[in-house]
């Protein structure tokens, strides 16, 4: 059973390319560095959060796929990988996950498979952070069914800003039909570039829009090559290049998240 204070967080946006997986990996690492015990759950078949944490999704290793397909038959604890960093654990993804929806199509309670799996270990962590595919699918619905809150990375770009409305509608439907306890707890501006007018304009719109302004984090994640390079080498930016904008921004985000 989750402790009352275990935060089970879905990082989600129905638009791709907004820094979703980078936020999963780097916020998770920054929270671990701040002393929180963190479990990252990679629910994206592309398994970028898994490789971004330097873990190889080997064919014979247990993954989140086994947990949602075999249900209680696979022990969640056995699927948890220790990463190279203290207090930061991972349930890896696997490319087989892309076929999970078809396999689960006739299964009863299919939207709650992840929730049931996480239920066994949530008590061991301060924060559980879940990555999602960039589209609304049964995998995403499993994440929303398990989550207590949704953190939304929003690229400071017009398309990403426009896409927020769809996500808010989706969460509203999930709240009504599947998980009454879910809420959107924050919007994180990403790829912010102070030098461009469009980036500054979108940030200002986020901060002044009646629907979103109370949710926008002060810690915007600046566009920073260190974040991209760190994911390529399988190391969170807070451990890879500790004095970079990327590391500073994710540490600031983690402190704001805790606060």
Percent residues over pLDDT 90 in the chain: 77
> Average pLDDT, stretch 166-185?
95
Q: Which of 10, 4, 5 is nearest to 149 (CA)?
A: 10
The rounded distance, in Å, linking the Cα atoms of 91 and 130 is 9
Residue 246 lies in a domain: yes
Residues in the chain: 259
Q: In this predicted structure, which of 26-35, 58-67, 208-217, 239-248 has the lowest mean pLDDT?
A: 58-67
Query: What's the average model confidence in pLDDT over 206-210?
Result: 96
The reply to whether 144 falls in a domain is yes
Total domain count, the chain: 1
CB 27, CB 19: distance < 8 Å: no
> What is the residue range of 43's domain?
7-258
Confidence of residue 5 (pLDDT cuts 50, 70, 90): confident
Residues 134-160: pLDDT tens digits?
A: 888 899 999 999 999 999 999 999 999
Which pLDDT value is given to residue 98? 86
Specify the pairing of strand 127-131 against strand 7-11.
parallel
Cβ–Cβ under 8 Å, residues 187 and 216: yes
Task: State residue 109's pLDDT score.
Answer: 86
Angle of helix 197-208 versus helix 158-177 axis, rounded to 10? 30
Bridge partners (DSSP) of residue 131 are 11, 42
Query: What per-residue confidence (pLDDT) applies to 16?
Result: 81
pLDDT band, residue 241 (cuts 50/70/90): very high
Does 158 reside within a domain?
yes
The span from the CA of 151 to the CA of 7, in Å, is: 11
What mean pLDDT is predicted for residues 210-231? Answer: 94
Q: Which two tokens stand for residue 44?
A: 């994206």
Phi-psi region of 78 (alpha: psi -120 to 50; beta: other; left: phi over 0): alpha
Q: Which of 180, 175, 64 is nearest to 118 (CA)?
A: 64
Q: What's residue 178's pLDDT?
A: 94
Residue 173 belongs to a domain with what CATH number? Answer: 3.40.50.300
Task: Give the residue carrying structure tokens 């769809």.
Answer: 166
How far is the CA of 144 from the CAs of 46, 117, 207, in angstroms? 19, 14, 25
- Is 1 a member of any domain? no
Asked if the structure places residue 244 within a domain, the reply is: yes
Cβ–Cβ under 8 Å, residues 117 and 68: yes
For residue 18, is it within any domain? yes
Has residue 245 got a pLDDT over 70? yes
For residue 96, the model assigns a pLDDT of 86
Does any domain span residue 241?
yes
Give the rounded distance of the alpha carbon of 61 from its chain centre: 22
pLDDT of 2 over the 60 cut: no
Query: Quick one: pLDDT band at residue 59, thresholds 50, 70, 90?
Result: low
Q: Is residue 1 pLDDT above 60, yes or no? A: no
Q: Identify the weakest region by mean pLDDT among 103-107, 110-114, 232-236.
A: 103-107
Mean pLDDT across the stretch 211-237? 94
Question: Considering the domain boundaries, does residue 2 fall inside one?
Answer: no
Distance, CA of 221 to CA of 253 (rounded, Å)? 8
Residue 82 pLDDT exceeds 90: yes
The least confident of 49-53, 95-99, 161-165 is 95-99
């Amino acid at each position: 059973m989750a402790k009352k204070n275990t935060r089970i967080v879905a990082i989600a946006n129905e638009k791709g390319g907004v820094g979703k997986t980078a936020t999963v990996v780097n916020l998770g690492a920054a929270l671990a560095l701040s002393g929180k015990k963190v479990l990252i759950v990679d629910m994206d078949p592309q398994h970028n959060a898994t490789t971004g944490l330097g873990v190889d999704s080997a064919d014979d290793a247990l993954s989140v796929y086994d947990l949602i397909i075999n249900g209680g038959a696979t022990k969640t604890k056995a699927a948890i990988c220790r990463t190279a960093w203290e207090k930061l654990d991972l349930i890896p993804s696997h490319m087989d996950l892309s076929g999970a929806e078809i396999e689960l199509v006739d299964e009863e309670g299919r939207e709650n498979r992840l929730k049931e799996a996480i239920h066994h270990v949530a008590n061991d962590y301060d924060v559980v952070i879940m990555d999602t595919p960039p589209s609304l699918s049964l995998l995403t619905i499993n994440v929303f069914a398990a989550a207590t809150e949704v953190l939304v990375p929003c690229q400071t770009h017009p398309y990403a800003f426009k896409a927020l409305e769809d996500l808010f509608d989706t969460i509203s439907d999930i709240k009504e039909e599947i998980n009454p306890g879910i809420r959107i707890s924050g919007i994180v501006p990403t790829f912010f570039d102070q030098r461009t007018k469009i980036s500054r304009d979108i940030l200002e719109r986020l901060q002044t829009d009646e629907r979103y302004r109370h949710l926008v984090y002060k810690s915007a994640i600046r566009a920073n090559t260190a974040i991209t390079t760190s994911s390529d080498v399988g190391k969170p930016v807070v451990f890879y290049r500790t004095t970079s904008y990327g590391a500073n921004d994710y540490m600031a985000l983690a402190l704001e998240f805790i606060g």
